[in-house]
Amino acid sequence: MTTTDVTTTPGRERSAEELKALVEDAQRRFGERDADPDEVLAWAAETFGKKLAVACSMASDTVVPALVSTHLKGVDVLFLETGYHFPETLQTRDEFARDWPVNVRTLLPELTVPEQDEKYGAKLHDRDPGLCCGMRKVAPLDRALAGYEAWVTGLRREETPHRANAAPVEWDEHHQMVKINAIVDWTFDHVVAYAEENLVVVNPLLSQGYPSIGCAPCTRKVAPGEDPRAGRWSGVGKTECGIHL
Ligand code: SF4
């Protein structure tokens, strides 16, 4: 199922202190490095229920909501519709929503692309990608996450040096909530193998030279042997959109 909205969320009941205590308990139980995703997600589903959401960019990370849905049917999957996606990414979203027992929520920025162009000038992504990502990714996700107590990400340690110390369960200071990096120790090959074994649709661009996929204007193909994320914001010194900072 897919829905398009920015406002409907289940709301929070626990305080930040109560949520932090849950993180400490989880870190004692699962450790701070490698944990079995099924064990972590079974705990997350039981602890948070509908107050758990999954963020998914509809690239290789569709395996994450697929995994979560085996523990929590109907889980909300948050997809950021920036207005700049490849058609293959939207196609992946629709196929995934059709095939798996999840509720894909398509989150929209406040401004459409034409409205942003009118206010900031065309191709803001070339001139100020930080501002563009802030308006089209970070702010819509912030608004949505305010209505949940925990979120699951597809963040993996091997992706960037910034992610090298990520734990399976963390305190998210920015969002004041629990952050669950369910496949934090998986490699790209591990992700692909899981998708194949479990018939999870992944973005077809992955096998066409795009191992990391974001918005079309900010993603290029990478050469064999090149850093998989070298194709993101290539040449502008940016490596993260900001949602994991
Ligand atoms: Fe804008 Fe590029 Fe960020 Fe997409 S990835 S929101 S187009 S700067």
Q: Which atom belonging to ligand 1 lies closest to the Cα atom of 129?
A: 8
Rounded to whole angstroms, how far apart are CA atoms 98 and 108? 20
What confidence score (pLDDT) does residue 227 get?
A: 75
| 2 has a pLDDT exceeding 70 | no
Q: What is the pLDDT of residue 226?
A: 80
Q: What is the pLDDT of residue 218?
A: 93
Higher pLDDT, 221 or 67: 67
pLDDT, residue 81, reads 97
- 175 residue type, one letter: H
Q: Give the pLDDT of residue 235.
A: 65
Bridge-based pairing of strands 177-181 and 169-172 is: antiparallel
In a domain, 238, yes or no: no
Mean pLDDT of the residues in the chain: 91
241 catalytic, yes or no? yes
Catalytic residue among 58, 97, 241, 243: 241
pLDDT above 70 covers a percentage of the chain that reads 92
Question: How many domains does the chain contain in total?
Answer: 1
Residue 245 lies in a domain: no
Residue ranges making up the domain that contains 86: 2-231
CA 37, CA 176: separation in Å to the nearest integer? 23
Residue 11 pLDDT > 70: yes
Counting atoms of ligand 1 from 1, which one is nearest the CA of 218? 2
* The dihedral sign for the CA sequence 166, 168, 170, 174: positive
Mean pLDDT calculated for residue range 218-235: 78
Q: Determine the residue of 210, 241, 243 to mutate for testing ligand 1's pocket, defined as the one with the most ligand atoms within 8 A of the Cβ atom.
A: 241
Q: Which tokens belong to 85?
A: 């996606």
Substitution site in 58, 81, 84 for ligand 1 pocket (most atoms within 8 Å of beta carbon): 84
pLDDT confidence bin for 164, thresholds 50/70/90: confident
Would 236 be classed as within a structural domain? no
Domain assignment present for 242: no
Query: ipTM greater than 0.90, yes or no?
Result: yes
Q: Is residue 225 part of a domain?
A: yes
Q: Residue 129's pLDDT is what?
A: 94
Structure tokens at 89: 């990414």
Ligand-binding annotation for 56, yes or no, is no
More confident residue, 211 or 39: 39
Ligand 1 atom nearest 216 alpha carbon: 7
Q: Judge whether residue 113 has pLDDT over 80.
A: yes
User: What is the predicted pLDDT for the residue at 186?
Assistant: 95
Residue 31 Ramachandran class (φ > 0 left, ψ -120 to 50 alpha, else beta) = left
Residue 243 lies in a domain: no
User: Model confidence over 169-204: pLDDT tens digits?
Assistant: 999 999 999 999 999 999 999 999 999 999 999 999
Cβ pair 157, 163 in contact under 8 A = yes
Q: Is position 239 within any domain? A: no
Domain containing 26 — which CATH number? 3.40.50.620
pTM to 2 decimal places:
0.93
% the chain with pLDDT above 90: 77
222-233 burial, b for 16+ CB within 10 Å, e for fewer? beeeeebbbbbb
Q: How confident is the model at residue 161 (pLDDT cuts 50, 70, 90)?
A: confident
- Per-residue confidence band for 233, with pLDDT thresholds at 50, 70 and 90: low
